[in-house]
Structure 1
């Protein structure tokens, strides 16, 4: 006896539901769990955790900060790159900063609003970080398009004057004149959209001493690695803080330098957590 068309369709849909539930809801997850238990893969499946004295202290895949209670870098440890994930390396808030190269004009804090800190844009974030790294490592932290004070060197240029957009009054502008125009500080809340937005390169070297990964976050905000250049930059400080020779610390950096992925993808990098743990053990 032939079933009514509507009933046959419903039975076919029910068989497909049962089959897909068994294959994708039971068999496939169990297969993945079994594969994850294969020797050599189980560590990755469990989060690539790193232990010290039998206690997990982090993951080889997720960076973490090495700062004191006030957020100041601990001089005896290598520092990671900045993070845009939550308050820093938060795996529940993984993200990039999503700020582009034209993101150069800060929102200045309003002195009439309590606790208003304004908002720094990408250029000032890079400038302030570079200045801070320079001070920490005892090197020149200047960068093109940054003021000596560590904010973006950006003017709103008008026919008869210019305004330093990222320096709130009563600050003294980073330059007094621009192409014959006097330069004034910016007044919070003022509308400067009528001026021509003009970044000023300044006299900083074209190849800054502070590497790019020291002042920019990764796409995920969780990258546990830094460049070899940034690691080498920190050797002198770490060695001094630990009363060790620079040669000893440099050897540890070399031992914890990972090559390019598959031999040709990316650049050599250093896992900060693994390097710092090696420092504590040695």
Structure 2
């Protein structure tokens, strides 16, 4: 005589079997299979985060995540190639990947009031201009670019008209140059240009960016003044790397041709020959610099 389990009990037994089978497959077999696959030559490095080591053999980061080569005050370390700007946290923070979320219409600064600089916010245009000036000063080149003032802010005027948005110009303010600084233009359409007073409302003015006479292509490349979308890209353009070669050669006591050869060794071409642009991995390049041409400062930094 066959004894059959009650229907409700049979369903529970079947459910327990399914749980046990799936637990073994997904909790044991699958992880072990993936771990084994990750040990295959050519895959193991990527599976472990594409880690790279410094000259002393200690971990030095990942080849996929950029780093800031600056001192404690944020000043560039002159013996290293500099990365592009980063909006990820305080810079290349893998836990805070993100962009600045400022678009091409961001041309007017919020000027800080009082003695607290955190009450202000620079526009995208001013960020680009200030970065271009800083890079130019570091590399000893002309960093002039369209729509930027000589002191590194956006060349943006607030123009008031007697008819609101049109008519005779009655007042002009250099919106990104706080008093008592001198405006980048003396007059605009016959009206004297004023410096901006922090906290004053200029919302009724017509915003007019001024191109100026800077060349269309600045000597400071675009990637030197703009961040990547995620803020973690370890690459710069060959043009930005080449701009830095004379400084690196001087700081490292090596010939410029020797440094350029090292740059070429760490430059990747377009994917499949057509996608993307050639790029230089700054993190790997700087580690190679420390191995081939160590400097006293780099030894102190341990980078």
Q: TM-score, normalised by structure 1?
A: 0.91
- Of 64, 80, 84, the residue aligned with 2:87 is 84
Aligned to 2:152: 150
CA distance in 2, matches of 1:252, 1:40: 24
SS in 2 for 1:161: strand
Larger deviation, residues 172-181 vs 86-95 = 172-181
Distance 1:235 1:11, change over 3 A: same
1:98 CA displacement:
1.2
1:177 CA displacement:
1.4
- Of 36, 50, 53, the residue aligned with 2:38 is 36
SS in 1 for 2:137: helix
CA displacement 1:14-33 (0-9 Å, x = unmatched) = 77766665555554444332
Q: Which runs of 5+ in 1 are unaligned?
A: none
SS in 1 for 2:259: helix
CA distance in 2, matches of 1:228, 1:48: 22
User: Aligned residue pairs: how many?
Assistant: 279
Instruction: Give runs of aligned pairs for residues 165-244 of structure 1, distance below 5 A.
Output: 165-244=175-254
1:12 CA displacement:
8.3
Distance 1:200 1:43, change over 3 A: same
Q: Which runs of 5+ in 2 are unaligned?
A: 162-169, 293-303
CA distance in 2, matches of 1:82, 1:144: 20
CA displacement 1:88-117 (0-9 Å, x = unmatched) = 111111111111111111110102x54545
Is 1:47 paired with 2:41? no
Distance 1:10 1:251, change over 3 A: same
Is 1:66 paired with 2:69? yes
CA displacement 1:115-167 (0-9 Å, x = unmatched) = 54511121111000000000111111111111111011111111211111111
CA distance in 1, matches of 2:14, 2:187: 79
- Bigger-Rg structure (1/2): 2
SS in 1 for 2:157: strand
- Of 106, 109, 121, the residue aligned with 1:103 is 106
Q: TM-score, normalised by structure 2?
A: 0.85
